Amino acid sequence: MPKFKSKFEEVVYTDLVKRKVNVSYESTKLAYTVSKVYKPDLTFASANFIVELKGYHPNLHLSLADKVAFKKCYPDIDLRFCFEKDIKIRKKMTITQWADKHGFKWCIGRIPDEWFNEEPTK
């Protein structure tokens, strides 16, 4: 017997089995995409990158996951982060380690002048 998430699921499943209906519980996985709109914090007229400003807030993890999904959808857009400070987001990972892991450029507290002097990427 499968492990059900609710009593109702168990009741309906058991009823179908008793009625000899060929049924399975949570045996199929279906991937889907949620369409969201992202508004970057900073865009620049004379730079080929956008910047997301990140202070500490409780929903940081979800927000970061969204940024990874954004990067997958728009691999040619150079998304960078400016963090208020380097904070722990997981037991063994800081926010800057997360950025490095996912290939994002980042800075702490202030956007460096060097970013504006870079050659455009193709």
Say if residue 58's pLDDT is above 50: no
Task: Output the pLDDT for position 101.
Answer: 93
Closest CA to 60 of 91, 84, 95, 23: 95
- pLDDT, tens only, 106-118: 999 999 999 988 8
| Tokens coding 83 | 């963090």
pTM for the whole structure: 0.67
Phi, psi (degrees; rounded to nearest 5) at 49: -145, 165
Non-local CB neighbours of 13 within 8 Å, separated by 6+ positions = 2, 4, 23, 25
Closest CA relative to residue 84, chosen from 114, 37, 51, 44 = 51
The domain ranges of the chain are: 1-32, 42-116
| CATH number of the 42-116 domain | 3.40.91.30
User: Do 71 and 79 form a contact (C-beta atoms < 8 A)?
Assistant: yes
